[in-house]
Amino acid sequence: MNTDNKYLLLWSAIFSLAMSELATAHDISGSLGNSSSSIDQYQIHCFDDNTGPNARLEISVQDNSPKVAAKVSLQVAVNNTAFNTTDAVDGDASFSPELSVKGDADEYYYVTVDKTAAGEENYLIEYHCMTSDNQHTGTDIFQLTDQ
């Protein structure tokens, strides 16, 4: 094998590993701007990727540094119903109570992250699309609003 083919093979392997990591990631970091009305919005699509049909979305939020007066919350809307969870302690290693939101086999969940007061906030969302027998299934996430 010549040198060019070796480099091509190496870069192909690195790219494949990077893409597989992206495909299995189940968290997203974000930040909210200084305004008390700043929000971020996401659409999470849960679908059957040959593991089984979606049954629910499991999701929670962690309020990270900097420590300010605001508390970070997230809301999940699906089928005309909304659910809420809030991280009660800013900057610790704990997440908010986890939401388990039922959905259809091929479901779109709308997630809004907000805060209770002015000041920049960083957060981490952990989410999983799950089948009825507790297997991870197909997941896509799209950011709709970034404030």
In the chain, where the domains are located:
27-146
Q: First-to-last CA distance in the chain?
A: 51
Instruction: Report the topology of domain 27-146.
Output: Jelly Rolls (2.60.120)
Decide if 75 contacts 125 (C-beta within 8 A).
no
pTM, two decimals, is 0.80
Q: Which of 7-11, 45-49, 60-64, 97-101 has the lowest mean pLDDT?
A: 7-11
1-11, pLDDT tens digit by residue? 555 555 545 44
Q: Is the pLDDT of residue 16 over 70?
A: no
75-120, pLDDT tens digit by residue? 999 999 999 999 998 888 899 999 999 999 999 999 999 999 999 9
136-145: average pLDDT:
93
Whole-angstrom distance, CA of residue 57 vs CA of residue 38: 24
Q: Which of 1-10, 20-29, 91-100, 122-131 has the lowest mean pLDDT?
A: 1-10
Whole-angstrom distance, CA of residue 54 vs CA of residue 61: 21
